[in-house]
Structure 1
């Protein structure tokens, strides 16, 4: 069954939330992360079903230099409220920093034979256009080239909001990683977060691996 693809994996959630996006978006945008919170918790719960020793969270935080990401290990969904509350989002953010941390961690553990048998899934929650788009694409392509199979590692981008430039960039990652950047495997799947059916979270995770 397709569900077996999700078993015996490590799950990582990167929360790339910024305050800059709030000031440039229409009224009510600042409520969208709050509105999405229950769905984020549900997503974490679904990940925990397949990764019962706890998921890894990278949370954007203004408490860190240049709005870097704070890492939490072996997180349960019940801890998410506290993690969100103790990290105020930065004005500017390098998504590459958080993504590269997650990728480096995976390949370091893989070299030490500490990864789970089926690999990993990384999910990125993002609300606006990344400032380092080409570097992100190259980092993902480099990671894809280091994989042994096309479903060893999947990266899912869930876009919160209506930033059309961000959506276009994510669509390009989804559709053109191999054709334009020359990656060995297509390991990216993107989705507008509001369009993910709460009853279809398993399908979303499977789509990340099947691209």
Structure 2
């Protein structure tokens, strides 16, 4: 199905950002096949990126994060395949800095009136136990409290693997954000396994209507 048709206006006129974990946890395999999470997620994320780029014609913003993050602008799905080839997992799972930079960048563009009319969707892909989870939570709450409307910013948390501590934290962000101080619920969660079986337009819609 074509997300341009299935998703309707809600997923169009938005910017799309991918924030991808390249920490050492992405190197450590618990799969029966012996494949690393870094390898397991690539086909699904490139497929998702190829749908996003149909909607975000000036290219995607992509972050790779571990101890530090690297940002790539105006990325296509073909570029993303090359980016994966050029990077190998190492370091800690420091999501907070990359997420803050992406959110700050959105608000800067909004202030300059150059953000897309329907806002932004941020897709976070990670396997590891996140460093400074409280800081990550506060960054998301602050973002939610600076929005003008609920659907303006959506964050989809895509879990690679099944680490219970990661699942628990993501569920808190998905289900309890407003109970811990956020004006809007802007997060939803999905696993990389679910992603394989989902209509891609549903993934993007769910990121907006968390």
| Common topology (TM > 0.5) | yes
Structure 1 residue 128: Cα displacement: 1.3
1:197–1:93 Cα change, 3 Å = closer
How many residues are aligned here? 205
- Does residue 90 of structure 2 align to residue 90 of structure 1? yes
**1:1-211 alignment to 2 at 5 Å?**
2-20=7-25, 22-23=27-28, 25=30, 28=33, 30-60=35-65, 67-179=67-179, 181-197=180-196, 200-211=199-210
* Alpha-carbon distance in structure 2 between the residues aligned to 1:28 and 1:197: 17
1:34–1:24 Cα change, 3 Å = closer
* Alpha-carbon distance in structure 2 between the residues aligned to 1:205 and 1:55: 14
Structure 1 residue 193: Cα displacement: 1.4
- The root-mean-square deviation of aligned C-alpha atoms, in Å, is 1.8
Q: Which shows bigger deviation, 141-150 or 78-87?
A: 78-87
* Alpha-carbon distance in structure 1 between the residues aligned to 2:169 and 2:25: 18
Structure 1 residue 26: Cα displacement: 6.0
Structure 1 residue 23: Cα displacement: 4.0
1:116–1:29 Cα change, 3 Å = farther
* Partner residue in 2 for 1:64: none
1:161–1:8 Cα change, 3 Å = same
State the TM-score, normalized to the length of structure 1.
0.91
> Gaps (5+ residues) in structure 2?
1-5
* Alpha-carbon distance in structure 1 between the residues aligned to 2:65 and 2:88: 8
Could you give the per-residue CA deviations for residues 98-127 of structure 1, whole angstroms, max 9, x where no partner exists?
Answer: 100100100111111110101000000001
State the TM-score, normalized to the length of structure 2.
0.91
| Residues 177 and 186, structure 1, Cα contact 8 Å, conserved in 2 | yes
Could you give the per-residue CA deviations for residues 123-162 of structure 1, whole angstroms, max 9, x where no partner exists?
Answer: 0000111011111111100000000000000000000011
3-state SS of the aligned residue for 2:113? Answer: coil
* Partner residue in 1 for 2:3: none
Structure 1 residue 30: Cα displacement: 4.5
Runs of 4+ residues deviating >6 angstroms: none
* Alpha-carbon distance in structure 2 between the residues aligned to 1:82 and 1:26: 24
| Residues 174 and 188, structure 1, Cα contact 8 Å, conserved in 2 | yes
